[in-house]
Amino acid sequence: MTDPVVEIRKLCTVFQNGEKTSVVHKDLDLTVERGEVVSLVGGSGTGKTVLLRQILGLETPTRGEITVLGKPAAELGKRGAARRVGMLFQHGALFSAFTVLENIAFPLRELRTLPDGLIREAAMVKLQMVGLGPEVADKMPSDLSGGMIKRVGLARALIMDPPLLLLDEPTSGLDPESADGFCSLLRSLHQGMELTVVLVTHDLDTLFELSTRIAVLADQEVIINDVPEKVVAFPHPFIQAFFLGERGQRAMALLRKRPATV
Ligand SMILES: Nc1ncnc2c1ncn2[C@@H]1O[C@H](COP(=O)(O)OP(=O)(O)OP(=O)(O)O)[C@@H](O)[C@H]1O
Ligand SMILES: [Mg+2]
């Protein structure tokens, strides 16, 4: 039985910059089933970030339908979005004037329904959940390493226990060891929290470590959305260049060693 968390039908996204018209998505279809970890890959500028922002309801497509947890994405609105969908933005996007704990608590505080003590407690739980100690709570973002910033961003994305988590390049800019640590964290959160995850990544290790499916964006559409083994065998120039280089071979070896998921 299918139980889609995200359904995208005939999505078109067109940007008009002065004289120039650029078509980013054209009749794009994508379905994400509950419990999946779907990785979106595609060249730079193929509209991956735009697609995540549309799923979150922050941007409206030119045409087409996006349904998230049974409702039109546009209806998630600004407040509803944080409750049902958590997002880790491509460039961290912590508020530099807020402490770590204030950053994590921000979406909860905006609701104005809980007392301060409870909000602080909930944020402390999430801090621990992403593997950071209580001593980090009162630090400022400028005092943190890249890996810690990603973890704090993740804690903020999870503060409302959303069923759907969107991650834009969660391991970019991290050294290999921190990237591995962050991947393991995501993997255990996914297993422990009944999360559905859509992530964008260029990093093949992250891709093969986490994905139950890979959706490839090319030629303005999703050309294939399938298990990693099927995707790497799909005949398309982008896929061959992306997966069959030296980096790709290394990651494929990892895939063969990986225990089966889902
Ligand atoms: N608000 C906007 N107005 C005009 N053009 C935009 C707007 N937002 C995005 N674009 C364009 O849409 C295209 C897709 O952008 P997007 O940021 O989604 O790419 P991406 O696939 O995430 O790339 P990267 O891998 O580099 O992060 C780009 O050409 C970008 O310049
Ligand atoms: Mg992007």
- Its pTM stands at 0.91
Residue 79, pLDDT above cutoff 60: no
Q: Indicate which residue's Cα is closest to atom 31 of ligand 1.
A: 45
Measured by CA distance, the residue closest to atom 18 of ligand 1 is 47
Residue among 161, 97, 108, 152 at smallest CA distance from 128: 152
Q: How far is it, in rounded angstroms, from Cα 41 to Cα 209?
A: 14
* Atom from ligand 1 closest to the CA of residue 43: 25
- Pocket lining: 53 vs ligand 1, CB cutoff 6 Å: no
Whether 236 shows a pLDDT value over 90: the answer reads yes
Quickly list DSSP for 56-102.
TTSS--SEEEEEETTEEHHHHHHHHHHHHEEEE-TT----TTS-HHH
More confident residue, 258 or 230: 230
Question: What residues contact 78, with CB distance under 8 A and at least 6 apart?
Answer: 57
Closest ligand 1 atom to residue 169 Cα is 27
The residues near 231 (Cβ < 8 Å, ≥ 6 apart) are: 213, 214, 216, 224, 239, 243
pLDDT at 262: 45
The residue count of the chain comes to: 262
Q: Quote the ligand 1 centre to 256 CA distance (angstroms).
A: 34
Q: Is the pLDDT of residue 246 over 90?
A: no
Convert the pLDDT of each residue in 82-141 to its tens digit. Answer: 678 999 988 767 999 999 999 999 989 888 888 999 999 999 999 999 999 999 999 999
Q: What's 4-92+163-257's CATH class?
A: alpha beta
Instruction: Estimate the share of the chain in helix, then strand, then coil, as percent rounded to the nearest 5.
Output: 45, 25, 30
Ligand 1 pocket test: pick from 50, 171, 201 the residue with the most ligand atoms within 8 Å of its Cβ. Answer: 50
Atom of ligand 1 nearest to the CA of 50: 18
Give yes or no for residue 24 CB within 6 A of ligand 1: yes
The residue among 71 and 111 whose pLDDT is bigger is 71
pLDDT at residue 48 in the model: 96
Q: Assess whether pLDDT exceeds 60 at residue 261.
A: no
- Angle at which helices 146-157 and 176-193 cross, to 10°: 20
Q: In angstroms, what is the span from residue 102 Cα to ligand 2's centroid?
A: 26
- The one-character DSSP state at 259 is P
Pairing of strands 196-200, 164-168: parallel
- Least confident segment among 106-115, 164-173, 217-226: 106-115
